[in-house]
Amino acid sequence: MGGDCLPGYGGRMPLTEHPLPANPRDGDDPFWQEVNAAMARARAASGEKDMSRLSREGYERACAALGLVPMSDDECVSPEISGRTHGPPGDGVVATVSKKLASARGWGIIRERRQERAQLRRELERRFPRGMSREQYEEVCAEAGVSPAPDESICRMAADYLAREEFEDLPDLGLFLANFRDMGFRNR
């Protein structure tokens, strides 16, 4: 392909497509050397120290430096991007670099969401130091755009939240709020 226009990758890109390596794990292969060189250029252009968790701005600067069209945040956290390792046997240099950068943005989104969740927890602890009543829980759910769960489901949802928190990147907001409501049951 030699840097020709690829659909979805923003036209000409200052990367050279190399044949896929015979051994996908061979870091000395020209394919991986090109990927690594492109990622080094992206790192320099991003202006960020941690390339594993890019901000939106850093991600866009890295993409611009390589002639890539940045993916949306929804695409960056999609299973296609976050759920796999990028590179051979299916992806060429351009796709590999594009997906590696999108994956780094996906991890940046998760970091940002964790920070927002921690801030929300501090705010809820400040507002409701003894936990939430049912009325307060419904009010907070309405503010957050989440359907409140029935009280008989709260304990199960709180346990589900705690279990998921151990293994997932970020359990959903409904489970988070149910967990906080459950703490209100225990404190009353």
The per-residue pLDDT string of the chain (188 residues; one tens digit each, 9 = 90 and over) reads 333 333 344 444 456 676 677 666 777 888 888 888 999 999 999 999 888 899 999 999 999 999 999 999 999 999 888 776 666 667 888 989 999 999 999 999 988 988 888 898 899 889 988 888 888 889 988 998 988 888 888 777 777 777 776 666 666 777 778 777 776 554 44
Return the biggest CA–CA distance within the chain.
Answer: 68
Say which residue the tokens 């240099």 belong to.
93
Q: Are 58 and 48 in contact (CB under 8 A)?
A: yes
Cα gap 104→90, rounded to integer Å: 19
Q: What is the pLDDT of residue 108?
A: 93
Q: Are 182 and 155 in contact (CB under 8 A)?
A: yes
Distance of CA 107 to the CA centre of its chain: 4
Query: Cα separations (Å) of 83 from 32, 86, 130, 185?
Result: 21, 10, 39, 37
Q: Give this prediction's pTM.
A: 0.72
Residue among 6, 4, 2 nearest 95 (CA): 6
DSSP line for 56-123: HHHHHHHHHHHTPPPPPHHHHTSHHHHTS--STTT--HHHHHHHHHHHHHHHHHHHHHHHHHHHHHHH
Cα gap 14→67, rounded to integer Å: 7
Q: What is the pLDDT of residue 85?
A: 67
